[in-house]
Structure 1
Amino acid sequence: MSKFGLFGKFTVKEGERDTFEKILLKAAESLQNIEACELYLVNRSDEDENAVFVYEVWSNQDAHQASLALDSTQEMIQRARPIITGMERIATFQSCAGKGV
């Protein structure tokens, strides 16, 4: 059975990447007990010191959408919004199989 995946790029204000990563890692921690979230990886860019990539795999697209309404997610969004200068949805995809999925 395929899973819903999302790969996104966030760009933040100069010097705020560490702060933003901490916010995302707190968000990842809040997802630990959400079974529908199968993978949530926070990645820093080697090429752009203000870019952070998030790679997510969910049991389905509805589960991902529902996660956006969680109090913990909303709190993370409110904390992060002032330092985000750009967001880009690089890809959505159907994960078929592989290690970690």
Structure 2
Amino acid sequence: MRVKPGHRDEVVATLVDGADGLSAAGCDLYVVGTSDSDQDLIWVNEVWASKEAHAASLELPEVKAAIAATMPLLTGEFTGQELDIAGGLGVPA
């Protein structure tokens, strides 16, 4: 996701602060990272137990609050991909 100039650290802090409740919601992996070459780019990688678990997480009050706080700081430029996990380190078997 792309943030408005100067807001990267604020958005990263909000995303990282909300990570604690995601495990109980069915999130197996949640990684927030930044680009070394682009100060306005944030990467979020998530692995969920199911699409339904992810959709349900978006209804949690703390997730809704984080989205509301973060959206004004974003440019609206997002990319995303969905994939089926075949295996690897740090993901459920």
Calculate the TM-score normalised by the size of structure 1: 0.83
Shift of 1:36: 1.4
Q: Which portions of structure 1, spanning 4 or more consecutive aligned residues, are displaced by more than 3 angstroms?
A: none
Calculate the TM-score normalised by the size of structure 2: 0.90
> 2:12 maps to which residue?
21
Deviation string 1:46-94 (CA, Å, 9 cap, x unpaired) is 2210010100000111111111111111010011011111242331111
Structure 1: any 5+ residue segments left out of the alignment?
1-9
> 1:3 maps to which residue?
none
Output the CA distance in 1 between the equivalents of 2:73 and 2:85.
31
The number of residues matched between the two structures is 91
Structure possessing the higher relative contact order (Cα contacts under 8 Å, 6 or more residues apart): 1
Shift of 1:96: 1.7
Structure 2: any 5+ residue segments left out of the alignment?
none
Secondary structure of the residue aligned to 2:5 is coil
Secondary structure of the residue aligned to 1:62 is helix
2:11 and 2:70 in contact (8 A); partners too = yes
Output the CA distance in 2 between the equivalents of 1:40 and 1:87.
20
Identity of aligned residues (%): 35
Which has a greater percent of strand?
1
Q: CA RMSD in A?
A: 1.3
